[in-house]
């Protein structure tokens, strides 16, 4: 698959750190818009892939697997395998910050996916994601057997960011059984709510929603 519109790939590899008013006036954009598009395409492709690969699994499993595939760690790893950082247009000072580079590289990969979609359409973007990325570099069965505690991930993040998390618990009668209703609040805003027969499971599902919403990954 050869690029046909080189300009959008150059844009996908241009970090916002090198953009300025002069570039904006010349119509030279950074990769943030393409990242937004690529993120949506990536989510759709991975959701379809998991839906087809695991026909007997329910929504909770599919959501968890999608988060294990589409997160900062995996995107940074895949971008590193493709050598995207070496091709990027970004300020040299950023190369001194490894933690930031992981996010920068992962975001660039999503922008590249957006560029492939605009250049070749959804079908080719799907092939690029499923064969060139996931099929070549990720082991889904290994990811499936990896245990993730989203509550631990969220609490660690909140401590690092000095965010106060408020838990609200209640019960909701469902038939002859009471469901545990768990809500997570942050900065006076409700972040997520889940119901489950198990309070522990409701908390974990709630934390998973917040982690995905805020793109938090250990």
> What does each of the 218 residues of the chain score in pLDDT, given as a tens digit?
788 888 999 999 999 888 764 555 455 689 999 999 999 999 999 999 999 999 998 887 888 788 788 877 788 899 999 999 899 988 888 887 776 788 889 999 999 999 999 999 999 999 999 999 999 999 888 887 776 678 888 888 888 888 999 999 998 876 667 888 999 999 889 999 988 888 888 888 888 889 888 878 66
Question: In the annotation, is 32 catalytic?
Answer: no
Question: In the annotation, is 172 catalytic?
Answer: no
> In CATH terms, are 6-144 and 150-214 the same topology?
no
Ranges of each domain in the chain: 6-144, 150-214
Q: Is the pTM of this model over 0.75?
A: no
Q: Where are the alpha helices (DSSP H) in the chain?
A: 6-12, 21-25, 32-53, 59-69, 72-82, 84-87, 98-120, 122-127, 135-137, 140-144, 150-161, 199-214
Active-site option among 11, 30, 35, 39: 39
Instruction: Identify the sign of the CA torsion 29, 31, 36, 38.
Output: positive
Active-site option among 11, 35, 64, 110: 110
- Domain spanning 150-214: which CATH class is it, in words? alpha beta
The fold of the 6-144 domain, in CATH, is: Ribonuclease iii, N-terminal Endonuclease Domain; Chain A (1.10.1520)
């Amino acid at each position: 698959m050869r690029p046909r519109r080189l300009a959008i790939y150059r844009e996908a590899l241009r970090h916002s750190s090198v953009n300025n008013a002069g570039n904006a006036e010349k119509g030279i954009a950074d990769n943030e818009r393409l990242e937004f598009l690529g993120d949506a395409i990536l989510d759709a492709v991975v959701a379809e892939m998991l839906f087809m690969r695991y026909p007997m699994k329910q929504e909770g499993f599919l959501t968890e697997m999608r988060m294990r595939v589409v997160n900062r760690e995996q995107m940074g790893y895949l971008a590193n395998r493709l050598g995207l950082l070496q091709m990027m247009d970004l300020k040299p000072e950023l190369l001194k910050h490894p933690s930031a580079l992981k996010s920068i590289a992962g975001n660039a990969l999503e922008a590249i996916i957006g560029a492939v979609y605009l250049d070749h359409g959804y079908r080719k973007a799907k092939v690029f994601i499923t064969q060139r990325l996931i099929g070549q570099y990720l082991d889904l069965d290994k990811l499936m057997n990896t245990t993730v505690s989203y509550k631990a991930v969220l609490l660690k993040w909140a401590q690092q960011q000095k965010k106060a998390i408020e838990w609200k618990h209640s019960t909701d009668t469902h038939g002859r059984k009471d469901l545990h209703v768990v809500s997570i609040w942050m900065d006076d805003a409700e972040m997520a709510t889940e119901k489950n027969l198990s309070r522990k499971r409701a908390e974990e599902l709630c934390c998973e929603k917040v982690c995905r919403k805020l793109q938090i990954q250990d």
